[in-house]
Each structure stands twice: as C-alpha cells, then as structure tokens.
DNA sequence: CATGAATGAGAGTTCATTCAT
DNA sequence: AATGAATGAACTCTCATTCAT
C-alpha cells in the first residue's frame, strides 16, 4: 500500500518563506531535455500535446496510454511528438509540472487573525483535502506512475517530504509552546499523521469507485474527523 | 497515492471466531481456473513455477517480469507454464495465495491475561508491523499490481476492509466500555488510524530504499509511536 | 461454394456387382499405419476415440478440433491417442471409413418391377438425397477437410467419380435405348447433372443455417425438382 | 465437392439497371477498418501488400500463408502490414474486393441484336465460365476460406445469391413468354441449374490438377454441354 | 516544423508430439 | 496399454521510435 506521503496535509504554523524554500526542490526534478519552442506555432503544438496527454493519461492510465493516442487527441502527427518530448515520461513530467502549482499550494495559507491551533489545523486539513479532491485524477496518476518509474517515485517522495517537514515544524512549534504532547518525535508524528490524512484523501477521492455500495464520504465529516484525531493524537488541550 | 488500506493494523479486542469469519473472503478471490496437478511430478513443477514467479516478481516487478524469465528460473519449458496457469495474473494469484496465511494472520492474536487496551493495541500493532516487514517485498508487489490489474485492486481492497472492520469493532467496543472517545465514528476512525499504521509500514519497509540519507527507522520506535498516537487519538485514559 | 461432387446422385440402371466394383477404391485410400488393437481393452479405447473424434469434428470442424479435445471426450489420456493413430488425419480416416457404408449405399437399390426411367431416376435421387441428409454433418466435414488435406481431396474425388461413372453408364444405357438425348456426351452430362444434385444437397442440408430467413427446402419438392430437370435435360420422352 | 454457388452462371434477360442493383450488396461486405493511405508512398505499400498477399494465398493457401511471407514478398517490414490491415482476413478481403469487378461482371451482358433465348443463354454461360477460368485460383481460394471463416462464407453466399436471383428472373421471364417449362419454380430451377454450371466450372478449372489422367476439358464443349442441358431442362422449344 | 509511413525487436500463446512413470 | 506432464517450434501482433518527404 503505497500511501501517499507525496502529498501530505497538516498544519502550517511556519513562516511562508520557509515553506516556499521547501517547495522548490520538487518543482524541477526533471531535466529539460528539449528546449522550449521558439515559434508561436511551436508553443501552440506543445501546449496541445500536454493537454492531450493529461486527458489521455487520466482516461487510460499511464501504462495503457499510447503516444499515438496522445498525438491523435492533440490532432498532430506522431512524429511531431518528438519535437517537444523525448518520450512518454517527459510529457508526463510536463503535465505534472503544469498542474503542480495547484497541487502544492493548497491555497489556504494561514487562518487569519487567530492562534488557535485547532482552527489552524482544521483550515490546513480542509485546504489540503480540497486540493486533493480537485486534482484527484492526477494524484491517482502519480501513484500509478510512481510504481513504475523511479523518476516519479522520487518526485512523489520529495513532495511528500515537503509536507511532512512543514508539519513537523508545526508540531515542534506547538510542543515548544506546551500545546502538544512532548513525548513523540515531531518528525515521526508528522509522518504518521500526515500519512493518515493522505490515506484518507486517497481512499475518499481516488478509490471511491472501488467501494461498491458505500456512500461517498461527506467532505466536512472527513475534515472534522481527521482534524479531531490529529488534535487528540497530539493531545491538544481544551478539547472538550 | 496508494495508501495501504489493504493491510491494516490495529487492535483486536473482539472474539476470535468473528475475526476469522471476516478474514475468509479475502482468502480466495481468485478462481482456480486450472485444476491442480494430479501427479507428484506435476505438483513439483507447479511449486517450482510459483517459487520462481515470486522471485522474479520481487526482483523485476510485475510488469517487467516476462513469462520466459519465470520458466527459465523454474528450469522448465515455456509451454509448461500454461499447464498450470493461464497467464501472468494467475501465477501472481498463486503467489499471493501461498503467502496469504502469513500476511493475514499477523500471528499475535491477543495478549494473554490482560485487558489493558494499551497493551493489547501495542501487541496488535507490533504483530502487524512485523508481518508487514516479513512480507515487505510482496506488499510492494501488491501495491504495484493493484495499480494495474483490477482483480488485484479488489484483492487489496478486501484485505484492507477486513482489517478496518476488525479495528472498527475494537474501537466501538472500547467506546462502549467508556475507554475511547465517543465523538468519532468508529468506522471512520478505524479507516484513519489503520491507514496511518499501514502508511508507516509502507514507508518504513517498502520505501526505505528511496530514502537516501535517512537512517532506517527503529522498529520499536515505530511500534511505540503509532501506538501512542493511536491511543491518544482515541483519548485512552490513564495516559500519563 | 463447396458443392459436392464426391457424393453424387443420379440414376442407377446398371447391375449391382458393377457398382460394387466401383465402390471398392474409395473405401481404402488410407494406409493403415497402426495395426488394429489386439486386446479387448484396446478395441474399446480405439472405438471410444473414433466416436469422440466424430463428435468433436462435427462440432468444432476439423481444423479447430484439438487432439486433447478428442481424448478428453473419449475419457482417455492424451498419450493414448498415439497408440492407435499417428495424427489427426488418421482418426478422421477412421471416422469416415466407419460411416462410409451408409454414405455410399444410398440404400435404395433399384425400383422393383419397373423399367420406367423416370421412376428409377426419382427413386435414385430420393435415396441419394436422403443419405446426404442423414450424413450432412459428415459431408460438411469432408468438404472442409478436402480443402486442406490432399489425401481427403483424393478421397472425395474417388467417391464422386464412382457416382458419376455409374450415372454415366445409366445415361449411355438410356441413349442406347433411345430414351435419352444422344447429342450429349454421357460422361459430361453425368458430371453436370450429378453435380447439380450434389450442389442442391449441399445447399439444402449443409448450408441451410447460412440462409437467414429462407424457409428450409421441402424434401419432396427437392426430389421432384431435380428429377424433373434431370429428365428434361436428357429429353426423356412422354413428359407431358 | 466444393461447388460454387457463390459464382453462378446463367442467362441474363433482365434490364441492366436491375442487375446492377442486385450486385451492389456483395461488392462491399467488408468494413474498411483501416482508413486508406493518404500519401502516395502509403498507397504504393498497400498495393504491394495486396499483390503479395494474392500471390502468397494462391501459392500456399489461406491457412498456410504466414503474414511474414506476405510482407517478405512485398519487401516491407512485418509491422507495416498492420498499418493497412488488422489481420489476415482483412488482406484477403482487400484481395477479393480488388478482383471482384472481373469476377462479378462476366463481361458479356447481352447478346446484341437477338432475342433467341438459346443464344443469350450460351453467351451468358460462356462469359461466366471464361471469368471463372480467369480467376480460377481466386475462386479456389474463396472456396477454401469459406470453409473456415464465416465472414467469407457470407461473402460467397451473397455472390451466389446475386447470380441465382438474376437467373431466376431470366427463367421467370421466359416462362411468361411461354418459352420455358412452367412447371418448375423459377427460383429452385435457378438454384439447380446455376449450381450445375458452377460445379462444372469448379471441377474444370479448380480441380483439374486432381484429375490425373483425364484430359483437360475442352472449353467450348463445356459451354455447349451446360447450355444444352440447361435449355433442355427448361424445355426450350425449337430444339432440333 | 509537420507529417505519417516504415521499422523491427520482442512478448505471449498454442498444441501436436514425446516420454518417463 | 495407459497416463498426463513436458517440450519447444512457430506465429501473430504491438508500439516506441526513426526518417524521408
């Protein structure tokens, strides 16, 4: 069970600039073999290919996607593909790079005007889960590819690590403030709890079709459950 | 992200016969298309093929494994493969079926002579993690295959569900006894916490090679961390 | 379309012993590679194989029939097949030989107590068509095999020739008696008319499933039509 | 006994436009799965493959023909085959389609300036037989394939039906004019007589090699014999 | 830059036949 | 005689990649 720790949730109590510095590495793990197109036509074709690739990958999966499917979808010749990408891996990298922004910046940031750890945690989890839901197909794709291509395994790892470290800092911070249980190692706790949320996200948004009868999980219930368990696990005070 | 919910951990406070009845389904999801060999020689060849298949799968992964690699490893002709299996999927099913016993019955069962929920939980997690570690390569394989073959996705799901339900019963039981937080839904909590442990197991035993520098996680620390977080999350009492 | 000239119809005005002498050759065109079984058990197994082969051939066709299908049907081991036959061709030969009696002797013989050529012809055609109908599946099989195996092409040819020659003699006889048109060569006329009836038989009894809506041909109408055309073609007198 | 009723002979006394409308269906029973090549080079390759396929099929038979034989003969790579055809069946369809024109339109049409049924019939039969002779190898191939591939069985049936119906109309027409025997059903008579000619053609031009000693049939004798028998069978008047 | 046909290595599968038991 | 597992040659089809136009 590949849990996704490539995209992990949690709380963010740290300063924004640090976060950014952490996010840098996962952004560019792929070497740009081809230089970007010079002409306008080139740019258009390239963009069409990336868009088509995303569609085909999400529909057929990475392994079953044939390059000709992609070029067909992009309405260009098979050979044109190689003007922009060396192979399937490279288009996928382009697809992920393009979507990365939204996947990495859950968009919440910090809850304004409060220091309540519980509120911060909840907002953070909500933002994470919402982003996961938005990009569910891509996350599924990433999981699949990580099983097969080491480059993307690495990509997934870096993304997960960024979240885990960010959350670990948050935990350490709360421990220092006396708000969180000091008995646990912040890093390990972050791994466990970040993982917990990512598994829930994966199950809810990616594997949901697998579940035959089960009613789809209610989003808010998901948020409150993982938040509550997380808070409890770290023994946030004033809880009830 | 494929989190593992196919193999989930947890605590077992329920009666043994119930547990068994739950574990039954995942045991035999694959129809035996080929009938078992009648002669002794046949049994030997079949066993050699299954063994070879496990080796090749673990070494090369499911997708890169070629049937001829397997027959070569088993020292038999390519055609002999088809005496026992219809295709790659079927050998894999045989491999998993053979290993299933150990993967499903972490071997612990109950801690004798105690009702202490914390002790029970810890023993349960230790047993689960130990079994995961023993079968790490196979778990990795299962993750990989589940991404590609619906049959095995289903297999993974059933296994996960069995654990999740078992743990959900345990949680409900503790809630009834007033030992666990009654605010959370036992099923959702079980999903989250079981998932948490399985991710940790996956990261520790499967993805360990990925982690370049990080020191390998200490097994006992892993057990105590997840146990503590789990206990806290459910607000076990008497906690320090 | 496979018309059958291996089994041709017609009229038989010649003496029986001549006919028999013609039928001899087609009976044994196949070399008996294996000698007949000595023990009683052997005879039983061989018989079971021939019976099974006929069933499988008629069901699946010669080409799609696998030897293991036959042995399975005969409830014996694959290897046992080779105790009695060298290959698929040989079983088929055995099957045809066994059925030959009924296929070659339409069973009518002569219409007793009449010299009326029309009555004789009609009886002959009726007997031929009835035999064809009885053995339709085998005839279909023979057609199929003849397209593929030279040995059976030869077998088919000999059988057809026997009928054609017999009918040619009948025609020559009638010409001598002044009853049939003397302008046509008896042999050629026999080829044409015998062929005509065999095509009709093939279409009616073998290809009947092909015809989607068409009502199945009425047997008696078939008999009377071919008889009338045949009689007309040779300008039998007194015909209306 | 593969008689051909797929290609049947006869007389054509009907208006041309009707005939055309009947011949349409058999012309295109195969769906063009692959779209036709756009470039000139593509057209050349495709044509080479069809030509090679015809040669190989006629030489080795449909079943024994290997795809690599065809590509080798066409001097192109094995994979190129699949640019134009999905499998062996499809090339064969292309081969037959290409030859269809000549096989379907025996080229005679009507004898100009005469209403003499006998002359019309003879010209029609001559044209049919000549076309059969020209395409003998292909007709043999069609017979063979029809025994094995349902699609081509259907193809054969449609072609036969077209001829049979055309001749049936001719017969009905002559009956109306009082020239032909009114006792027989035009459709059944057409089936029998068309079949008669097609068997003769099959025997003369396809199975001729089988006949060891027999002198090859004289073409003109063939024409006059079947014509005479046909005319007699329908009791054309003024016959000597 | 775009096109789309050509390439060819390589994998899975079938099944008649053999042969040790 | 019977058994049934073992053999391995043969063939089809896929698709990423190249390259002439």
pLDDT tens digits for A63-108? 999 999 999 999 999 999 999 999 999 999 999 999 887 777 665 5
Q: How far is CA A230 from the centre of its chain?
A: 19
Nucleotides of F under 7 A from a protein CB: 1-21
Pairwise CA distance, residues C175 & C182, whole Å: 6
Pairwise CA distance, residues C51 & D106, whole Å: 46
Residue A24 burial by Cβ neighbours in a 10 Å radius (0-12, 13-18, 19+): exposed
Exposure string over B55-72, b if 16+ CB within 10 A, otherwise e? bbbbeeebbebebebbbe
What class is the B30-98 domain?
Answer: mainly alpha
Work out the minimum CA distance from B125 to partner chain A, whole angstroms: 14
Q: Which nucleotide is nearest to A82 (CA to C1')?
A: F17
Pairwise CA distance, residues D214 & A192, whole Å: 92
State yes or no: pLDDT of B14 exceeds 60.
Answer: no
Mean pLDDT to the nearest integer, D6-11: 56
State yes or no: pLDDT of B33 exceeds 70.
Answer: no
Please report the pLDDT score of residue D31 as a whole number.
60
Q: What's the first-to-final CA gap in chain C, in angstroms?
A: 34
Please report the pLDDT score of residue B181 as a whole number.
92
Pairwise CA distance, residues C219 & C206, whole Å: 14
State yes or no: pLDDT of D102 exceeds 90.
Answer: no
Pairwise CA distance, residues B22 & B114, whole Å: 24
Give me the long-range contacts of C204-211 (CB less than 8 A, separation at least 24). Answer: C204/C129, C204/C133, C205/C132, C205/C133, C205/C136, C205/C139, C206/C2, C206/C136, C206/C139, C206/C140, C206/C143, C207/C1, C207/D157, C210/D153, C210/D154, C210/D157, C211/D157
Nucleotides of E under 7 A from a protein CB: 1-21
Q: Are A121 and A231 in contact (CB under 8 A)?
A: yes
| Least confident residue range of B132-136, D14-18, D25-29 | D14-18
Pairwise CA distance, residues D53 & D59, whole Å: 10
Q: How far is CA D148 from the centre of its chain?
A: 18
Please report the pLDDT score of residue C3 as a whole number.
44
Per-residue pLDDT of D185-194, as tens digits, reads 999 999 999 9
Instruction: Give percent of chain C with pLDDT exceeding 90.
Output: 65
Pairwise CA distance, residues B47 & B107, whole Å: 25
Of D4, D185, D233, the CB nearest to C1: D4
Q: Nearest CA to the C1' of E16 belongs to which residue?
A: C67
Per-residue pLDDT of C158-169, as tens digits, reads 989 988 999 999
- Residues 6+ positions from C5 with CB-CB distance below 8 Å: C156, C160, C164, C191, C194, C195, C198, D1, D3, D199, D203
Q: Stated in angstroms, how far is B77 CA from E18 C1'?
A: 14
Query: Angle at CA D166, nearest 5°, toward D162 and D169?
Result: 140
User: Which of helix, strand or coil describes residue B38?
Assistant: coil
Please report the pLDDT score of residue A33 as a whole number.
55
Per-residue pLDDT of B223-235, as tens digits, reads 999 999 999 999 9
> Do the two chains D and C touch, given a threshold of 8 Å on CB pairs and at least 3 pairs?
yes
A158 in contact with chain B, both atoms CB, cutoff 8 A: no
- Residues 6+ positions from A123 with CB-CB distance below 8 Å: A108, A110, A111
C-alpha torsion sign, points D146, D151, D157, D163? negative
Query: Angle at CA D96, nearest 5°, toward D91 and D102?
Result: 150
Please report the pLDDT score of residue C123 as a whole number.
92
Interface test with B, best of A148, A196, A239 (most B CBs within 10 A): A196
Residue of B nearest to A145 (CA): B147
Residue of D nearest to C148 (CA): D144
State yes or no: pLDDT of A146 exceeds 50.
Answer: yes
| Least confident residue range of C9-18, C21-30, D92-101, D138-147 | C21-30
The two tokens of residue B46 are: 């079949």
Exposure string over A169-203, b if 16+ CB within 10 A, otherwise e? bbbbbbbeeebbbeebbbbbbbbbbbbbbbbbbbb
| Least confident residue range of B126-135, C8-17, C84-93, D177-186 | C8-17
- CB contacts of C184 in chain D (<8 Å) are 225, 228-229
- CB contacts of A4 in chain B (<8 Å) are 1-3
Whether the beta carbon of D66 falls within 7 A of nucleic chain F: the reply is: yes
Whether the beta carbon of A76 falls within 7 A of nucleic chain E: the reply is: yes
Contact C2 D6 (CB under 8 A): no
Q: Nearest CA to the C1' of F3 belongs to which residue?
A: C77
Mean pLDDT to the nearest integer, B4-13: 52
**Which residues from 6-35 of D have any strand F atom under 7 Å from their CB?**
none
**Eight-class DSSP state of C207:** G
Of D184, D197, D226, the CB nearest to C228: D184
State yes or no: pLDDT of D82 exceeds 60.
Answer: yes
Q: Are C23 and C100 in contact (CB under 8 A)?
A: no
Residue of A nearest to B191 (CA): A200
Please report the pLDDT score of residue D38 as a whole number.
80
Per-residue pLDDT of D105-135, as tens digits, reads 665 555 566 778 999 999 999 999 999 999 9
> Which of B203, B196, B202, B205 has its CA nearest to residue B225?
B196
Confidence of residue D8 (pLDDT cuts 50, 70, 90): low
Q: Stated in angstroms, how far is D77 CA from E8 C1'?
A: 7
Per-residue pLDDT of B173-209, as tens digits, reads 999 999 999 989 999 999 999 999 999 999 999 998 7
Please report the pLDDT score of residue A19 as a whole number.
38
State yes or no: pLDDT of C10 exceeds 80.
Answer: no
CA dihedral A46, A49, A53, A55 (to 10 degrees): 120
Mean pLDDT to the nearest integer, A146-165: 92
> Which of D128, D35, D47, D54 has its CA nearest to residue D96?
D54
* Domain assignments of chain C as residue spans, ordered by start: 30-98, 103-233
Q: How many CB atoms lie within 10 A of CB C55?
A: 17
Q: Stated in angstroms, how far is C40 CA from F1 C1'?
A: 11
Q: How many residues does chain D have?
A: 240
D214 in contact with chain C, both atoms CB, cutoff 8 A: no
Residue of A nearest to B210 (CA): A154
- Please tell me the pTM assigned to this model: 0.85
Contact D63 C143 (CB under 8 A): no
D156 in contact with chain C, both atoms CB, cutoff 8 A: yes
The two tokens of residue D155 are: 């193809």
Q: Stated in angstroms, how far is A9 CA from E4 C1'?
A: 47
Q: What is the CA radius of gyration of chain B?
A: 20
Question: What is the residue-averaged pLDDT of chain A?
Answer: 83
Pairwise CA distance, residues B239 & A25, whole Å: 40
- CB contacts of A3 in chain B (<8 Å) are 1-4, 195, 198-199, 202-203
Give me the long-range contacts of C76-85 (CB less than 8 A, separation at least 24). Answer: C76/C45, C76/C48, C76/C49, C80/C45, C80/C49, C81/C49, C83/C34, C83/C37, C83/C42, C83/C45, C84/C34, C84/C37, C84/C42, C84/C45, C84/C46, C84/C49, C85/C33, C85/C34, C85/C49
Of C63, C142, C192, the CB nearest to D226: C192
> Do the two chains B and A touch, given a threshold of 8 Å on CB pairs and at least 3 pairs?
yes
Per-residue pLDDT of A202-233, as tens digits, reads 999 999 877 666 677 899 999 999 999 999 99
State yes or no: pLDDT of C43 exceeds 80.
Answer: yes
Please report the pLDDT score of residue B104 as a whole number.
72
A213 in contact with chain B, both atoms CB, cutoff 8 A: no
| Least confident residue range of B47-61, D88-102, D210-224 | D210-224
Pairwise CA distance, residues C76 & C73, whole Å: 8
- DSSP string over C25-62: HHH--S---SPPP-SHHHHHHHHHHHHHHHHHHHHH-T
Question: What is the residue-averaged pLDDT of chain C?
Answer: 84
| Least confident residue range of A35-44, B127-136, C160-169, D136-145 | A35-44
Q: Which nucleotide is nearest to C86 (CA to C1')?
A: E17
State yes or no: pLDDT of D170 exceeds 80.
Answer: yes
Question: What is the residue-averaged pLDDT of chain D?
Answer: 84
Confidence of residue C217 (pLDDT cuts 50, 70, 90): confident
C-alpha torsion sign, points B92, B98, B101, B102? negative
Of B184, B207, B232, the CB nearest to A235: B232
Please report the pLDDT score of residue B135 as a whole number.
93
The residue among D161 and D2 whose pLDDT is bigger is D161
Kindly report the CATH number that applies to the domain delimited by D103-233: 1.10.357.10
Residue recorded with tokens 């495709």: D46
B119 in contact with chain A, both atoms CB, cutoff 8 A: no
- Residues 6+ positions from B223 with CB-CB distance below 8 Å: B122, B125, B126, B129
């Amino acid at each position: 069970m590949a849990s996704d720790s490539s995209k992990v949730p949690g709380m963010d109590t740290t300063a924004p600039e640090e976060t950014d510095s952490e996010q840098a590495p996962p952004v560019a793990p792929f070497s740009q073999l081809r230089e970007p197109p010079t002409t306008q036509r080139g740019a258009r074709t390239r963009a069409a290919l990336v868009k088509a690739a995303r569609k085909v990958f999400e529909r057929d999966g990475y392994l079953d996607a044939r390059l000709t499917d992609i070029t067909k979808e992009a309405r260009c010749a098979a050979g044109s593909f190689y003007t922009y990408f060396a192979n399937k891996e490279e288009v996928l990298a382009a697809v992920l790079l393009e979507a990365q922004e939204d996947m990495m910046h859950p968009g919440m940031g910090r809850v304004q005007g409060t220091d309540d750890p519980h509120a911060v945690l909840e907002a953070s989890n909500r933002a994470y889960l919402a982003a996961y839901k938005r990009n569910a197909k891509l996350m599924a794709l990433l999981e699949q590819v990580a099983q097969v291509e080491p480059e993307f395994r690495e990509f997934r790892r870096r993304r997960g690590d960024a979240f885990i470290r960010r959350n670990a800092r948050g935990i350490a911070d709360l421990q220092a403030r006396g708000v969180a249980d000091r008995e646990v190692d912040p890093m390990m706790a972050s791994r466990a709890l970040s993982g917990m949320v990512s598994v829930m996200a994966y199950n809810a948004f990616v594997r949901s079709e697998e579940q035959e009868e089960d009613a789809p999980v209610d989003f808010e219930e998901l948020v409150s459950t993982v938040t509550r368990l997380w808070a409890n696990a770290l023994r946030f005070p004033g809880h009830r």
